[in-house]
Structure 1
């Protein structure tokens, strides 16, 4: 279980310690060992921001609900982020730019804490999660074409491995297993839940 009654500073110290631990790349196929991936596959680089913000003494995680009109992953819960553009200096710049475009988060209000290992998605992206602390209050502005909603969940909620479950659905004629970590009306699953589960595991004592 995640320790309770911790200050935001305590939690950030735990995050930094967790990021210092060695860990390998994760994939959307981790729970599906029978899937054989081609060795010559080409992954497109992407960056996502894992934004934390303190609210009334509680550390919270900012997430988005993707637009139901999107071609890929419509309506799913996700971190703000996307593919690396030619003008981006690195994946951190990508994550900050995408957060600025998708939810109106000014880049100068984010302190970068560190990066998690990259994650391979079923859509052939190598996605690098960048953890950042939002240093000032801001009013989210969802980008209408990409984001239906911006919301927060208690960070402690996704740091407890006991809150995660493994479920499955049919995909390309086979059962595909994946992590879920629901919160209220929000069904957090897939790559987002897998990345959060990886962080929860690394933050365990």
Structure 2
């Protein structure tokens, strides 16, 4: 039994496939992460000093994400490009009730960066969330220094709605973030169509 309408699901557009991340992705996930350690380090969440939580391995992370998915609080997608594991898009903090909102985070293998894959993958996820999942608002928070991620939200035409000083602990310190959003009213034709037009 699923805790979220429209989940689990496989989404596909051209060479890009999004599917629920699985325990069996561990070897590919680890290989991509190790190959991209320097590429991703500046944007990775870290545990603040004094936190009782410890960094965990892939199995623990996936077990936790799949538990949240069953509870309707998360939609963790693996990104495949030409049938190769290439990254992750995760819908986090799904809120129901009067909010009907969530946030989206993502990372991608540098080998396939610069081909428009991440804007397309995020667009696919947003369209699914604002459609079958039944959400109204999706938020993306980006560090001001992350030019690659800023290009993603720019290509998607998301609206900047705020600035959050010291928002998340990333790469060893509390980091500011710019906040972007899209609502169902903002993209009646869908974000995938918007990406295709650019």
Give the structure-2-normalised TM-score.
Answer: 0.27
Task: Name whichever structure is richer in helix by fraction.
Answer: 2
Instruction: Work out which structure has the larger RCO, using CA pairs closer than 8 Å and 6 or more positions apart in sequence.
Output: 1
